[in-house]
Each structure stands twice: as C-alpha cells, then as structure tokens.
Amino acid sequence: MNKLALIPLLISSAALAEGTAILNVEGEIQINGQTVINSEGQVISSDTLNIVDYLAASGSKKVTLTASTSQGEKQLVTHWKDGQWKEEITTLDGEIEFAINVLSVEGDTVTQEVTWGNCTQTRTIETLNFSGYTDVRLDQTTTRYTEYIMTELTNSCGEVYATPLHNDELFKVTPIAKTSYQYDGGSLDNCIFVLQENINFGDEFSNPSQKSYRTYCEGVGMVELRLSQPYDFDSEFLNTSYERVTYKLTSVE
C-alpha cells in the first residue's frame, strides 16, 4: 500500500482514540430495509408502536360500536373519508343524542356542525399549537397536545356566543398489550389495548380527567371502548350516578 494512502487512516485512528466519533446523518437509518433510527433520532425496535397507525381507519369506512346501557341501546358511529375523521354520531335507541360533522378544512381551521337534541350549531376550530404522538413501547405513555380557539357561528337554540373560546386538550395514551379482536363480522389481527386519558381545560369547559380503556385495530380505528358514564343526576344532593359501559364493534362498512 502507498505510504501516503495510510495517512488518512492513521489520522482517523488517532481521532477515534483521543475523542468521541460523531456520525451526522440526515434522514432515517435502515438495516435490511427496516428503519432502526427515524428522522427525529428515535431508536425504533420491533416492540415500538406508532400509535397513529391504530387510531384512524384507512380509506373510507363507517365503523359502528354498540353498547347496552340502563337507558337503552347506544351506538357510536364514526365515518372516515380518505383516512380522515369526518363524522361521529351517538344514538340512543336509534335517536341522535349528539353528532359532530366536519364541513370543511382550510389550513389549521376546521368548520364543524354539531347537533344535540333538536339543536344545531356551526363553529370553527382554529389550532394554535399542536404536538403529536411519538412512537412508544408497551407500558410507555405518549401524548398529543392541542391548543385551539373555538368560535361559534350559528346556534338554532339560542344566541350566538360572540367571544371566541380558548381551550387546551391533552390526550395521554398508554399501550398495555398487543392483541387481536373478534366480532360478528370476523377477526382483526393487528390491534392494541390501551389506557387513554383525555384532559380538557379552558374557556369552554374544564374537565380534570376522563379515563377509559380502548382497543384500536390498524386500518379500522377504535373497536372497543370501556368507560364509566353518568346516567342519573340527583338535584337534591347534587350527586351523579355512573355505570360501567362497554361499546363493542358491531360492523365495518
């Protein structure tokens, strides 16, 4: 070997011996086609979960969950369009209790139509700050934070609230186990069972915490929801009664 050719090798060896080697890579690192470090510098292992892969349905779907409650049969129907959340409807014995429909999306602003009972409201949701979920392993918690302004546009049951409402929303998701899910329509293989905590606070409302156990399946979204929900309020003692309710997947269309 040419003696001059040895000089770079000797310089490199000396540098490694004296200090820490630094390898600067832009983008992700793959081995045999498998990403081991993503573009954000996070180490990815076979046990790492991308929560977002499970939360939303792929393509356009109508996903229906049904629960038996002390009030009657409740259904939670979610419509997805091109992988995006489009509409969610809660019914009691076939009658709409509550519904949210996305009318349009322009940049960071979403226009929605909200229905409850005989009332209809239109409003805009403008996102000010957003931080999404990160990849996690089982028993680790990942969060999604949103700061937004809600502005009411119309209200069929009262005066329009003129002042925009400033709110914060934090979702905390802890995957507990990988699982499969059986329902009357078949079997879903790639699923996760999680503990989810939703925290909302601001001008519109303040709710310290809502916890629930949920099962999400890749390509379908939420297929089971277990929570305690109010069913009776005692005005004399200001006491609310709760019952355990489990919504289970009944159809995917």
Q: Are residues 231 and 248 in the same domain?
A: yes
pTM metric for this prediction: 0.78
Number of domains in the chain: 2
Q: Are residues 39 and 53 in the same domain?
A: no
Q: What pLDDT is stored for residue 33 in this prediction?
A: 61
Q: Is the pLDDT of residue 113 over 60?
A: yes
Q: Are residues 132 and 159 in the same domain?
A: yes
Give, for 231, the enclosing helix (H) or strand (E): strand 221-234
Q: Is the pLDDT of residue 44 over 70?
A: no
CB 114 within 8 A of CB 95: no
Q: Are residues 30 and 79 in the same domain?
A: no
Q: What pLDDT is stored for residue 57 in this prediction?
A: 95
Would you place residue 12 in the very low, low, confident or very high pLDDT band (cuts 50, 70, 90)? very low
Q: Are residues 26 and 70 in the same domain?
A: no
**Degrees to nearest 5, angle at CA 179 with 91 and 170:** 55
Q: Are residues 132 and 8 in the same domain?
A: no
Q: Of 233, 232, 215, 213, which Cα lies nearest the Cα of 224?
A: 215
Structure tokens of 87? Answer: 């509409």
pLDDT tens-place string over residues 131-156: 999 999 999 999 999 999 999 999 99
Q: Of 164, 62, 148, which Cα lies nearest the Cα of 107?
A: 148
Q: Are residues 65 and 110 in the same domain?
A: yes
pLDDT tens-place string over residues 45-73: 557 899 999 999 999 999 999 999 988 99
pLDDT tens-place string over residues 166-186: 999 999 999 999 999 999 989
